[in-house]
Structure 1
C-alpha cells in the first residue's frame, strides 16, 4: 500500500466532515490493495471480501479522526493487518476445533496454545530478521516495522528509492527462505512476515 492517492490529505479532511463522495474515492483507490493483501494471506475470496468490508466500515466509523493521520498508508496497513490476523486466527481455531471434534480429543485451551505458537513464530521471524545483512535489516525494519514509506526511507538513509526496493526484495526473500526451513509453523510465519 505504498502508492498514495492524489490530494489524499484533502480527501481525508473531506471524509472527516462526512463527505460520502470523497469516501467512495478512497474506497475505489484502496479496495483492490486491501483485497489483494487479504487474499494472499487468507487464500479465500469470500474472506478477503469480508476484510475489505470490515476495514472500510471501520474507516467510515472513525472518519472524524482521518484528517489527523500523517501516514494514511501505514494507518490502513495496520488496520488491514490486524483484521486479517484476527480472521486467520478465527479460521485456525475453527479448523482446530473441527479436528479435535473428529478425533474425540478432550478440549484444550486454544487461547494459551495460540499465544505460545504466536510467541514462537514471532521469535522465529525476529531471528530471520536478525540474520539479514545490516542494510537490509535496517531498510526492512524502517519500512515494515515502523511503517515508513520507501521514498522517505531512501531520503533518510541517503540512498536511491531503487536501492531501498532491492534491499526490501532481498530481505523478504531471505526471510521466506528462513521460514521455509522451519515449515512446521510456516503459515503463521508467512503471515507475520507480511504483517510486520
Structure 2
C-alpha cells in the first residue's frame, strides 16, 4: 500500500481500522451513521437519544476493532450491535419504569389493605433512600427525568449540561439504584412474608 493512496474498498478500511487508523474509522462512521440514523430514530423517537446511541455504538466498534473480521459483512455487524443496543435500552427503561410504577402507584389502588400499605411504604422508602445516596447532580438529573418527566433538552437547558452528560448521569443512576434495590430485595421479601 503506497502512502497517500486513496483506499475505497471496505475490506481495506476495515483492515486499517483494526490497526487503529482514525481516518478509516471516520470514513466508516460517516458511511454507516447515515444508514443507521433513520432506523434507530424510528425506534427511539428521539434525535438526541439516537445520536447518543450511535456514539456509543461506534465507541464499541473502536474498542473492539481488533476483533473485526474484514472478510465478513461489516453492515450486518453494525446493524446487529445497533439492534442489541436499542433492545437493551428498551429493556432497561421498561424494567426501571415497572419497578418505580409498582412502588409509587400501588398506593393509589382503591382496595388497599393496611399490610399492603405498609409494604408499599417500605418499598417506596427503599427507593427514596437509594435515590438519596446518588451524588447531588446525578440525583437532580434523575429526579427531573423520572419524576418531573423532563426531556433531555429541557434538562440540558435547565442545568446547562450536555445531553451526553445527562445520559451518563441517568445510566449510572439506574445502575446504582438497581444494585441498591437488589441488595434490599431480601429485606423487602422478608418484610413481605412477616406482614402476611
User: TM-score when scaled to structure 1?
Assistant: 0.47
Q: Which has the larger radius of gyration?
A: 2
